[in-house]
Amino acid sequence: MSSGEDLAGPRPRTLALIGAGLLALAAALWLDAARLPPPGTVGVGPSAALRLVGGLVALLGLVHLFVAWRRRGEQVEVDHGNRAALGWVLAALAGLIAVLELDGGFVLAAAWLFVATARGFGERISIKSVAIGLVLSFAVYVFFTRALSLALPSGLLERLLLG
């Protein structure tokens, strides 16, 4: 920065390591997608979503590497993070796993993930955030199960809504 201000955030080396890790993850996703069976006569097949996610993860990795390269040599004030926010995000992931393991289904598990992660980013838990989480989770469930013909864990809610 030309104004002489210190930047906040991770150091360039940390950004570069995250970028490299994201690129490695993207490569693993693409390799896994290549091992999936080809699509049927109509549709995109099971590898399409995995390739899309892999592409997005690769893009994030490249952006991290670009930012690390641009910030090299600059003084960076290290941000030690927000432990409460991290706790909420970790609770969101643990809750997702727990709901799936208890056969609660994808919609409830993903809705919990949405609500708790939003809480970690400062949003209050409210009827509105729960409703948004449920609607988005249901839309994702329908897209993956109907449009892509992929199996997602179903629970009582999915069976009631989709028969």
**pLDDT, tens digit (0-9, with 9 covering 90-100), for 131-149:** 999 999 999 998 888 887 7
To the nearest whole number, what is the mean pLDDT of the chain? 85
Q: Is the same domain home to 116 and 156?
A: yes
Q: Is the same domain home to 36 and 89?
A: no
Range of the domain at 47: 7-77
In a 10 Å sphere around its CB, with 0-12 CB exposed, 13-18 middle and 19+ buried, how is residue 144 labelled? middle
Q: Is the same domain home to 87 and 157?
A: yes
CB of 85 closer than 8 Å to CB of 119: no
3-state SS, 47-116, equals: HHHHHHHHHHHHHHHHHHHHHHHHHCCCCEECCCCCHHHHHHHHHHHHHHHHHHHCCCCHHHHHHHHHHH
Structural domain ending residue among the three candidates 46, 77, 108: 77
When mean pLDDT is compared across 2-11, 82-91, 99-108, the lowest value belongs to: 2-11
Q: Is the same domain home to 94 and 115?
A: yes
Q: What is the structure's pLDDT at 150?
A: 76
- Residue 1 inside a domain? The answer is no
Q: Is the same domain home to 71 and 132?
A: no
Q: Which amino acid is at 141?
A: Y
> In terms of Cα–Cα distance, which of 113, 135, 116 is closest to 124?
116
Q: What is the structure's pLDDT at 103?
A: 87
Which pLDDT band, with edges at 50, 70 and 90, does 78 fall under?
low
